[in-house]
Amino acid sequence: MKKLFYVLLVASLVGYVSCSKDDDENDLKGSLDRTSLTMYVDDTEELKYSGKSCSWRSDNSLIASVDNGVVTANHVGTTKIYANDAVCKVDVRPMYNNFYEPCTIWGTTQSTVKSYMAGYSLRGSDNKSLAFNGKNNTIGYIYMFDNGRLSAGGVIVNLINANYLTDFLLERYVVINVEEDGNDYNIYMLSLDQRTYLMCILNTNGMTALYMDAEKIINSGQTKIDSMNRMARKINTLK
């Protein structure tokens, strides 16, 4: 599991593209034609630099990368693009805003989660879990707690809404692996801040997106994933 984090870390450090080997001081004093960009995921925009040579880089290539002045929006967030010392702020916005994600305030209490889920009816609860009925485009939500503290959550949708949820997640999370497990397709994702780990389970019944505390999932292995999956399947049969 730790290897997945290292892969993402290496990807986030990629962002330097040299335009020229000429380091003449006068060439480094140019400016950009724009100091801010608002983009949507997968959009591209070209920045123009007035100097003769420059080194392009991005503060976070996972949000927006740059190649010889061409900026590509990769995930939702805000970052900065540099041409030498000239700066352009890039705000990448989502195309999809049609899902209410589970609470991911890891380590919080059940009362906080219940407040977060205000407007959703509680299906069941005990000292280790909470389950809520869904509405609109969701079937239900599930949460798990370790010693009374939130460690995982999930959202369940039917097959019709599975593609829409996938599009929603791809704008916000980085895919780190895809596996086929019998009739299930498992898509593993990680948040840009590396705090939330997702396992999305897709089959003919629909899709379950399991959100987990990334730090804890490294130590717990498959135990929590299997437990969350059982809860998700149970709720899915009660829709």
Domains of the chain: 11-93 (2.60.40), 110-237 (3.40.1000)
| Residue 45 near residue 11 (C-beta atoms within 8 A) | no
End-to-end CA distance of the chain: 33
**Two structure tokens written together for 57:** 């880089």
At residue 30 the predicted structure's pLDDT band, cuts being 50, 70 and 90, is: confident
Q: Per DSSP, what are the bridge partners of residue 145?
A: 150
> Is it the case that residue 10 has pLDDT exceeding 50?
no
At residue 180 the predicted structure's pLDDT band, cuts being 50, 70 and 90, is: confident
Other Cβ atoms closer than 10 A to 71: 24
pLDDT in tens, 65-82: 999 999 999 999 999 999
Q: Give the residue ranges of DSSP H helices in the chain.
A: 2-12, 110-116, 159-170, 214-220, 222-237
**Two structure tokens written together for 6:** 């290292």
> Is it the case that residue 7 has pLDDT exceeding 70?
no
196: exposed, middle or buried (Cβ count in 10 Å: 0-12, 13-18, 19+): buried
| Residue 208 near residue 193 (C-beta atoms within 8 A) | no
Q: How far apart are CA 215 and CA 196, in angstroms?
A: 8
Q: Which whole number is the average pLDDT over 6-29? A: 48
Instruction: Identify the residue whose tokens are 């999370």.
Output: 173
Other Cβ atoms closer than 10 A to 235: 22
